């Protein structure tokens, strides 16, 4: 019985993390932190969008900038679709706009990764608090 409860808890934590990756702030939404979820979504979406505005879709480049792409991928799976558009559309960008756009979009991704870890941690703490009572 205890192992089943532990398995359910692990699945719940995975769901919180996965939903936090699918939609920035989604993990916080699942655990009931609605204000946190809204703030996270707006902050990450604006940071990512600003990076795309500065450097165009061309900053998402999984061929020539793999490390930047991995950081950008932490935003959501939508980055994969944007990478396909960038690959097929010929959106080349050079010099400062490219660098600044990559920095903004990557920072948004890494910030979302921190928020995912935070949501999973809070979800885990809620479980341990209820079990300890």
pLDDT average, residue stretch 94-116: 91
What are the pLDDT digits (tens) for 116-127?
Answer: 999 999 999 987
SS3 102: helix
pLDDT at 64: 81
**Domain regions of the chain by residue span:** 2-132
pLDDT category of residue 131 using cuts at 50, 70 and 90: low
pLDDT category of residue 5 using cuts at 50, 70 and 90: confident
Please determine, for residue 133, whether its predicted confidence score (pLDDT) is greater than 60.
no
Tokens 């450097």 -> residue: 55
The model's pTM: 0.86
Q: Among 115, 106, 117, which residue's Cα sits nearest to residue 48? A: 106
pLDDT at 98: 82
Name the CA radius of gyration of the chain, rounded.
17
What are the pLDDT digits (tens) for 27-60?
Answer: 999 999 999 999 999 999 999 999 999 988 888 8
């Amino acid at each position: 019985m205890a192992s089943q409860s532990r398995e359910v808890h692990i699945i719940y934590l995975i769901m919180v993390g996965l939903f936090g990756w699918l939609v920035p702030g989604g993990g916080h939404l699942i655990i009931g932190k609605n204000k946190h979820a809204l703030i996270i979504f707006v902050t990450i979406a604006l940071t990512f969008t600003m990076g795309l505005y500065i450097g165009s879709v061309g900053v998402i480049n999984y061929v020539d900038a793999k490390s930047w792409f991995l950081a950008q991928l932490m935003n959501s799976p939508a980055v994969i679709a944007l990478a396909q558009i960038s690959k097929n559309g010929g959106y080349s960008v050079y010099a400062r706009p490219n660098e600044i756009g990559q920095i903004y979009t990557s920072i948004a991704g890494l910030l979302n990764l921190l928020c995912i870890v935070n949501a999973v941690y809070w979800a885990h703490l809620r479980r341990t608090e209820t079990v300890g009572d």
